[in-house]
Structure 1
Amino acid sequence: MEAEQLNRNLFLFKFYSRRDRQEVLDSDKSWYFEKQLVVLRLITGDEVLSQVELVETPVSIQMYDIPLNQRTMQIVEGIANKAGRFINFDKKAKIGWGKFVRARIALNVEKPLRRNLTIRQSLGQPSEVYYRYEGIPNFCYLCGRLGHSLKECERRSEELDEEEILSFGEWLRASPCNPFSTKMESLSKKTNSENHDSCDSSDQTASAQEVVRKLQMDKEP
């Protein structure tokens, strides 16, 4: 692979192997360089440099509190699309079971992280679905966007009230699960291990409750 710098924040990567290139593009995790997010996009060569948009990065999300009777692939795909552009589900997972549903999305890095979504149950009652994001880089607790911290946020006033409740926080993070190709049997074997990359639904319950507590103070339309 070769890397060529086109301008201050734009690089061109040339792969000698299509297989290697596809492995990079198909990864369900974001890429980083010196702790900074690297947004990748496949180009054909017909693009104009000034018009190349790099705004999406693949992220795995966990969606909590989806009613059991709405855990169909069509409905859950729509819920995932509210957080980003839906890519796929965990092919080995059973979408109707577990404390959360996991999906892979293309996250728009120029928009705030979606925290929750109000949906309607079969009898019309409102129900809240909560999002958590795996492996995301630093993000701002004030505006909810990736790539900068609260101290660096342009929207922050000179003096932030210490008692002010921020709309975003570490509770939006989720422990990374294994890749989509990993079998559920191997996931269950790691449930009681100390492997940080395991995906234990029950282990996320306390954090999910924290998400609910935070959002009760700041409902999102």
Structure 2
Amino acid sequence: MESLINKTISLHCTNLDDLAANEDTAIKDYGLTLLAKIVSSKKSNPKVVQSILLKSWNPSEGMKVQFHHDNIFSILFNHEWDRNRIMKHRPWSVMSSHVVVRDWPQQLNLDEIDFSKSPFWIRVVGLPPNLMTKQNVEKIGSKIGEVTEVDFTSDGKLAWLRYLRIQVQQDISEPLRTGFTRNKDHQQQAWIRLQYERLPDFCFACGRLGHTNRSCPRKPPDPPKNMASPYGPWLRADNMENCPHTACWSPSQMLTLLPAFYPINHYLFHTPQSPLSTDQMRHRGDKPGLAHPPTMIILAWNIRGLGRAERVKALKKDVRNLKPDIIFLSETLSSSSKLSPLFDSLGFLNKCFVPPTGKKPAGGLCLAWKMGVDIEITLQNNNIINGLIFSDPSNQPWMMSMIYGPPHSANKRSFWEDLSSVLSLVLFVWEILMQLWINLKNSEEIQLPLRPMND
């Protein structure tokens, strides 16, 4: 025993404070390297992850992916522009799981890296116009995490906005914040909702990322019958499925859509070019000097049900051959949970879904776009997905309306009147794609306030 104690005493660690860092190599390699971790209780397939990242990130100068342990991998880019672009467009997801993407500090090894925080764009919904101030939205964001950016304009045109946007660096090991209460007059309280953009799968039981409620390790007891769970798909800003939401369309227009009377082929068309010259058209964030198509390509298709294998195969073929930037599908007849993984595999990580309606699913819309295309969805319901395009070109936004006309004659007039009121507020170039059912009667005319494209 004494000999064992003596051997233990003789053990010691030597400090290596005199190690010299290779600054040139560190700057060259680590300056172009990012670290990423897939937040999931399941082990990811490296080949599948690498294939999805190459399609969705599409680096102009290429990249190398090296996988480590615990769903952690490093990405070495060949150009700083690609690296910065990936950081700018966070958050990311792979196979419906959140991916924490961060830089690699030169002084830390892999086991010392903190993957507990990640940035999210959050929409603050429910503020009255008199409270829509930058100071207030920053105060709300500070209750969630570290505020990194506020999407705010002080031009006095906030009254029509449904929400304000804020980017927050938040702790992903904690439950998602669902909202806050604010005091009103007469001791009443109002609820301020939070919605997360590009939010992947999360647990509806505990509100955390990395697993679903089926495999929740800390699943709380079911709430009382008179109390609903605070977590659900309504927390997703771009997936309003099963959640009533405010829009400028009346509830009577949320129709059960019927199958089309005749086949409608898919369309391939370009975004408006006038008054822009082709050399002005460049993808948002694209590297100057690289060759790109002069216009954005949009693929629109009444697909009549995307659950069929032959339709999926045809869509993949069109995406491969036509290389569209935006895809619009009508009559999807599928929920977002089924469509989202498909579009992820095609490299379309940004998506807006309108679910089908009825016990026998009918209708359903989907708008999906690639990274580099900057779209802000302003309206979505069973008949339309409307958005503002802030790229192609970045200095002149324009509005895009994807319309699936109502099949019921009784609703056509109100549909056109609402569309007319929307158009009367348009201050941008407007591109519209419609699938209509039956024209109005000859005695019925709706005057749309059309204006020249270059106004």
1:137 partner SS: coil
1:39 partner SS: strand
Distance 1:61 1:155, change over 3 A: same
RMSD over aligned CA atoms reads 3.5
Contact kept in structure 1, 2:122 and 2:165, CA below 8 Å:
yes
| Partner deviation per Cα, 1:47-76 (whole Å, 9 max, x = no partner) | 132221112233221111223333221221
Matched, 1:96 2:293: no
CA distance in 2, matches of 1:67, 1:54: 36
Aligned to 1:10: 72
Q: CA deviation at 1:194?
A: 5.4
1:6-155 map, 5 Å: 6-27=68-89, 29-90=90-151, 96-97=158-159, 98-120=161-183, 126-155=189-218
2:68 partner SS: strand
CA distance in 1, matches of 2:193, 2:96: 27
Q: CA deviation at 1:186?
A: 3.8
Q: CA deviation at 1:121?
A: 6.0
Contact kept in structure 2, 1:82 and 1:114, CA below 8 Å:
no
2:402 aligned residue (164, 181, 193): 193
What is the letter of the counterpart of residue 193 of structure 1?
A: M
Q: CA deviation at 1:148?
A: 0.7
CA distance in 2, matches of 1:122, 1:46: 54
Larger RCO (alpha carbons 8 Å, 6+ apart): 1
Q: CA deviation at 1:119?
A: 3.3
Contact kept in structure 1, 2:117 and 2:170, CA below 8 Å:
yes
CA distance in 2, matches of 1:107, 1:194: 37
What is the letter of the counterpart of residue 83 of structure 2?
A: R
Q: Which runs of 5+ in 1 are unaligned?
A: 196-201, 203-221
What is the letter of the counterpart of residue 375 of structure 2?
A: N
1:174 partner SS: coil
CA distance in 1, matches of 2:209, 2:396: 34
Q: CA deviation at 1:184?
A: 10
Moved more, 76-85 or 119-128: 119-128
Q: CA deviation at 1:151?
A: 0.4
CA distance in 2, matches of 1:119, 1:48: 44
Aligned length: 192
Matched, 1:178 2:378: no
Structure-2-length-normalised TM-score: 0.37
| Partner deviation per Cα, 1:14-69 (whole Å, 9 max, x = no partner) | 12211110000011x42223332221111221113222111223322111122333
| Partner deviation per Cα, 1:153-192 (whole Å, 9 max, x = no partner) | 01127x96895732311111111682699279746x23x4
| Partner deviation per Cα, 1:133-165 (whole Å, 9 max, x = no partner) | 1110001111001111100101127x9689573
Contact kept in structure 1, 2:123 and 2:196, CA below 8 Å:
yes
CA distance in 1, matches of 2:131, 2:125: 12
What is the letter of the counterpart of residue 82 of structure 2?
A: D
Contact kept in structure 2, 1:92 and 1:184, CA below 8 Å:
no
Contact kept in structure 2, 1:91 and 1:181, CA below 8 Å:
no
Contact kept in structure 1, 2:64 and 2:76, CA below 8 Å:
yes
CA distance in 2, matches of 1:58, 1:36: 15
CA distance in 1, matches of 2:186, 2:138: 21
